[in-house]
Amino acid sequence: MHLPETTDAEDFAIDSDAHRRWLEAEAKLLLEFAEPALDARGGFVWLDDAGSPVPAEGSQLWLVGRYTYCAVLGHLLGVPGQAERVEHGLAHLREGALRDRENGGWFTTVGAADPETNSDAKESYGHAFVLLAAASAKLAGFDADDLYADVLRELDRWWEVDAGMYADTWNRDFTVLDPYRGANPNMHLVEASLLAFEADGNIRHIERASSIARRVIADVTAQNDWRLPEHYLEDWTPDPEYGADSPDSHFRPYGATVGHWLEWARLLIALEAAQREVFGVSDSWMIPASQHLFARAVQDAWDEERGGFAFSTDWEGNVLNDHRFHWVIAEAIGTSAALYRVTGNEAYAQWYARSWAYAAEHHIESDGSWIHELDADGERASGTWSGKPDLYHALQATLFARLPVTQSVTHGLRSGALA
């Protein structure tokens, strides 16, 4: 494992110079590991455990969007070659095989060896990462205005005015809308909307993000003992038994997904700050809600004996899937840092250090890459993930504590706020 001299929590003190130097080194290692993901055919491709490309997985929209976004961060960190990766990703999103020039929008997956893996569906989840990539590139000074305008226009197809939420999946030509509704794409569209507001100043982005947060968190999750329902019927009624027959689904798992409680908690802090900037006032429930979500994750899912957060629970807080996923601990790192900054409560700094200690001991390998899935004992596992395709969560984890938590990572880097 790639560790400091020890993995005691005190070695990850949030504001220590030694920890910040370690974070800087880890970010560079992550970007180096991800270099082979650049696909000469266009976009970016899945990586296996050794960091070798897996072309058989095809070109996946969520992954291309995330890699392009991470290249923006790498460029702003001053890493050579990252600007070229940004342009490569933007070009693929503009004109590559994922773009549907006939009907509009972007396909979910193309070019996979298994024909059943390819999908010409149009999902708001993947489009959220097109917006994240385009908005971050625009904010960082790249010529991305055309792509940015395109994805904003396309996303209007999913926006349901009466619900104040984004729907999930259209068919290829936008004639059939799937009745399923999901919280996950809406969460990532809150994230992307915050960045879009920084990129163009349009308050519509904050209005929509606020609408989503109120519906999912204030109206539903707060009334559900802070266990966040992920799946909904067409009328946005929670559907708590959705996915019971496929509990290990990548993107629609059964039960309550703990990592999303943590992710939402961090986004609420940024959204509350954006509301104050735009409206002069903010929803007063947001910071307390962030604390409640973090506390529920700790109470239900943190394993005091073995460490790490379980992946999912039932609606009474009993663990359903006890595997440890890299993105969950990465979000615990980011949210504990954000809560420490806005509250000053030392307990959150301790959770930050504890989360990093677990990640360093169990997830991070000698080359700086993160094992994506572990069992409850912290040993390499599979079942949901294979390989190491996802750079986005781990890279951001190295930056959250070094930047203002009330801005996007892109904005913080662009403004020179990196500590």
Catalytic residue (one of 19, 188, 326, 393): 393
Q: Is residue 81 part of a domain?
A: yes
Residue 12 amino acid letter: F
- Beta carbons within 10 angstroms of residue 143's beta carbon: 10
What mean pLDDT do residues 370-385 have? 93
What confidence score (pLDDT) does residue 11 get?
Answer: 87
Residue 136 lies in a domain: yes
Residue 8 has pLDDT above 50, yes or no: yes
The string of DSSP letters for 238-267 reads B-TTTTTT-TT-SSS-SSEEHHHHHHHHHH
385 pLDDT tier (thresholds 50, 70, 90): confident
87: nearest Cα among 33, 135, 142, 132: 142
326 pLDDT band (50/70/90 cuts)?
very high
pLDDT tens track for 83-124: 999 999 999 999 999 999 999 999 999 999 999 999 999 999
C-alpha span between 2 and 362 (Å, rounded): 10
Does pLDDT of 1 surpass 70?
Answer: no
pLDDT at 384: 84
Residue 410 domain-assigned (yes or no): no
pTM of the entire predicted model: 0.97
% the chain with pLDDT above 70: 98
Residue-wise pLDDT for 199-245, tens only, equals 999 999 999 999 999 999 999 999 999 999 999 999 999 999 998 88
Residue 330 phi, psi (nearest 5) = -65, -40
pLDDT reported for residue 9: 72
Predicted pLDDT of residue 248: 66
Residue 393 appears among annotated catalytic residues? yes
What is the predicted pLDDT for the residue at 85? 98
What CA–CA distance (Å, rounded) separates 67 from 85?
Answer: 9
User: Does 101 map to a domain?
Assistant: yes
The mean pLDDT of 130-141, rounded to a whole number, is 98
**Token code pair at residue 89:** 């990703």
Range of the domain at 172: 37-178
pLDDT band for position 153 (50/70/90)? very high
Q: Which amino acid is at 78?
A: G
For 319, phi then psi, to 5°, come to -65, 130
Residue 5 has pLDDT above 80, yes or no: no
Note whether residue 215 is domain-resident: no
Question: 25-63, pLDDT tens digit by residue?
Answer: 999 999 999 999 999 999 999 999 999 999 999 999 999
DSSP string, 356-374: HHHIIIIIB-TTS-B-SEE
Q: What is the 3-state secondary structure (H, E, C) of 209-228?
A: HHHHHHHHHHHHHHHHCCCC
Calculate the average pLDDT of the chain.
96
How do residues 279-297 score in pLDDT, each as one tens digit? 999 999 999 999 999 999 9
**261 found inside a domain:** no
Taking residues 178-191, report their average pLDDT: 98
Residue 260 falls in the annotated catalytic set: yes
Q: Which helix (H) or strand (E) holds 321?
A: strand 319-321
Is 230 contained in some domain? Answer: no
The pLDDT score that the predictor gives to residue 139 is 98
- Catalytic residue from among 75, 188, 260, 372: 260
pLDDT score for 245 = 82
Within the chain, what is the greatest distance between any pair of CA atoms?
A: 58
Q: DSSP characters for 140-199?
A: TT-S-HHHHHHHHHHHTTTEETTTTEE--EE-TTS--B-S-EEHHHHHHHHHHHHHHHHH
Distances (CA, A) of 63 to 34, 44, 58, 120, 194: 12, 7, 10, 16, 20
The proportion of the chain whose per-residue pLDDT surpasses 90, expressed as a percent, equals: 94
* Model confidence band, residue 2 (pLDDT cutoffs 50, 70, 90): very low
Residue 138 pLDDT more than 50? yes
Is pLDDT of 6 > 90? no
Helix/strand number for the chain, H first, E second? 13, 13
Residues in a beta bridge with 60: 109
User: Does residue 134 belong to any structural domain of this protein?
Assistant: yes
> How many structural domains does the chain have?
1
Instruction: Report the CATH number that the domain containing residue 57 is assigned in CATH.
Output: 1.50.10.10
**How sure is the predictor about 251, in pLDDT bands with cuts at 50, 70 and 90?**
confident
Mean pLDDT of all residues in 182-197: 98
**Residue 7: pLDDT band with limits 50, 70, 90:** low
